[in-house]
Structure 1
Amino acid sequence: MPTPDFIREIRASAGHQLLWLPGVSAVVFDDEGRVLLGQRADNHRWALISGIPDPGEQPAAALVREVQEETGVRVAVERLITVRSGRQVTYPNGDTCQFMDLCFRCHVIDGEARVNDDESLAVGWFTLDELPEMTDYHYFRIKQALSDEPTWFEPMSSE
């Protein structure tokens, strides 16, 4: 995902030090129960659609914007399914960050899934038994979106 301008401005004074950033991701279902995925341009891996909220933007609104910007699909947010702090990541340029991901279950309103910006190589709908190779956390979020369980969060350590 391209770096938003407001993060570039922070980096100008913060350098490469660790930034704690909000992130949003979507498990989007269509009327046939298929899941919307994008093949990322940065690492060529299939993934749930995700992004970074702009300053002052509500997470659900950011997610609706990100899905439409990246895929051309308009969605309605149904519920929050997971909250998770990811691992610390260091990018090739030396920038370090850690994301707090809020993942929402969504359903499609309209639009044709397509590559709609430079963040994706491909975009498509996948049945649950034909999901491409992804990280375990992508599969976990899809499983949580299909369940009636309350919002999942990482349990606190007993330290």
Structure 2
Amino acid sequence: MGTPDFIRDIRADAGHQLLVLPGVTAVVFDDEGRVLLGRRADNGEWALVAGIPEPGEQPAAAAVREVFEETGVHCEAERVVSVHAMRKPITYPNGDVCQFMDITFACRAIGGQAHVHDEESLEVGWFSVDALPKLRDFALFRLKQALGDGPTWFEPATG
């Protein structure tokens, strides 16, 4: 789907300036313990499935929707594994600048076949956690949190 219409409407007035936006990430595991990844069309990198909730959409529902839209896989969100504000803004090729407040969910695949299901991905596939393609550090951190059984991770408030 790309950029949601409501963000396009905001961008019409705000231009490329920094927007702080909600984001969701889904760490989807299959019954074999493999993780679902997509190779992004915008930068060619492998990544966890992520996106922006629509206005009024619950974060877990957004994560489940994004997984299906991008990969054709049906999943269930099982738990929140982290809540994290990205430290650095992202500048997209079109000049838009965003900083995301991400909620990451551990999810379980329940159906569908992994395939490129929209224009946001070049490839999708299941990967053993010990044979992953190159991922950014924040994706590896989210995956590590989803693999653990600890409480939801968040950065503690300071002073």
Normalised to the residue count of structure 1, the TM-score between the two structures is: 0.95
Shift, 1:146, TM fit: 1.2
Write the mapping of 1:84-95 to structure 2, written as runs, cut at 5 A: 84-86=84-86, 87-95=88-96
- The match for 2:125 is 124
Deviations 1:72-99 (A, max 9, x none): 0000110000111112122333322110
Distance 2:84 2:10 in 1: 23
- The match for 1:31 is 31
- The match for 2:5 is 5
Greater shift in the superposed pair: 148-157 or 40-49: 148-157
Distance 1:34 1:24 in 2: 20
- The match for 1:82 is 82
Which 4+ runs in 1 deviate beyond 3 A? none
Deviations 1:47-105 (A, max 9, x none): 00011000111110011111001000000110000111112122333322110010000
2:105 aligned partner, one-letter code: F
Identity %: 66
Distance 2:123 2:93 in 1: 24
- The match for 1:149 is 150
Distance 1:114 1:152 in 2: 31
- Structure 1: give runs of 5+ residues left out of the alignment: none
Normalised to the residue count of structure 2, the TM-score between the two structures is: 0.95
SS at match of 2:130: helix
1:156 aligned partner, one-letter code: A
How many residue pairs get aligned? The number is 158
2:60 aligned partner, one-letter code: A
SS at match of 1:138: helix
- Structure 2: give runs of 5+ residues left out of the alignment: none
- The match for 1:49 is 49
Distance 1:23 1:111 in 2: 24
1:55 aligned partner, one-letter code: P
